[in-house]
Structure 1
Amino acid sequence: MLKNILGFVFFWFWLVLALYLMLGVYFVFNNTIANESEYFLYILIGGGSYLFSLFIIKPYRYRFWDTFFHELSHTLFAFLTGAKVNKFVVSIDSLSSQNGFVEYQFKTSKIMGFIRSHLVSLAPYYFSPLTVMMMIIYYTTLPSNNDFYSDLPILNGLLFMIGFFYVYHLRASISQAKPYQTDFNSVGYFYGLSFVFFMQSFFLLQFVTILAYNFEGYYYFLEFIYRMLL
């Protein structure tokens, strides 16, 4: 009974926080990147290009990579939560079937069990390894003056890839987040979706603020929080 009550409370807790963060994403975006339409255009073209590619390359052609990055996300967050990964398996027997799993060990703990049931089990639905990698490369490639709106072709290409891989991640996450997916067994399907929505909003906020000129987005997000609390 208590578990059901707590599940109901946290379901709405994650959902409200997610909506709050999405408002923050809009506020930061509207005050920073939106003012640089050419800069945002490369991200938009990248995302649109992936959607267009689906008319040429059917989604099932991505199944190996969908599975690979799905299991990679489990693995990364298993490491981050102190687990020992024993096995990482990705295999596809045919174009119509797929298989992958990660085996890991960890010390028994109620608190860490709760954390891992959220962060590790649901990682593939909110974390995009490719997008994060592109963001890191983009940031380390910036000129010494940290001009986030530089016209360097390589930076524009990286912005394109950020948009491309983020939309790829969204498509893969939506296609894999099914009620029968075992990743949701430990927390429940609808509760799991509410947490995924929260984490997606959290990471999207990080992407927007990092892409904002000289991390100016964090200033606007703090301003947004201040206004909401008044």
Structure 2
Amino acid sequence: MSDHLTVVTHPLVQHKLTLMRKRDTPTALFRQLLREISQLLAYEITRELELTTETVDTPLQPMDAPVLAGKKLALISILRAGNGLLDGVLELIPSARVGFVGLYRDEETLQPVQYYFKVPEALDDRLVIAVDPMLATGNSSAAAIDLLKKAGATNIRFLCLLAAPEGVARMKEAHPDVPIVTAALDECLNEKGYIVPGLGDAGDRMFGTK
């Protein structure tokens, strides 16, 4: 484990991830587990948010109490599978601003192709958390971070459910300043660019599509 990559080994994260890996886990349960695990991962990725204080009145007396500092953070979903992580993180941080980056992977070249981009304003003043369940080749993730940096983001973190060593290396090469938080670092990619042992296609399993 390094400063660039954090693998969350919490027992609940690992247990829920195992249930998600199972081939026969139904769509509804897969979706629920993804939402639950995303909250646990969000807890880790927001561990060092900056705090300030404000004076509040408790039932007993006034006090200076900690509150989040600065502008609302921005959650950026890398479509379409990112939406599964987004839902859970938003339950934990409902005031966050939300953006979307639409990329699909060309199955021949495995390179990302952009089709949608809509993000909150003033990204340079916000912590930006990009979410996508699978960090496979890293090409789409690196491309999404490129777009966010062009839009002004300077403080970016990447949240994923599973990562392959190839994807982590690609991200570290392209964006060494972007820490990655994941539930597991799997073995490798297969010839189709899927994470092994993995859990299949996260988007298909989440939305019940093939």
- Specify the structure having the higher radius of gyration (Cα): 1
TM-score by length of 1: 0.22
Higher RCO (CA-CA < 8 Å; seq separation 6+) = 1
TM-score by length of 2: 0.24
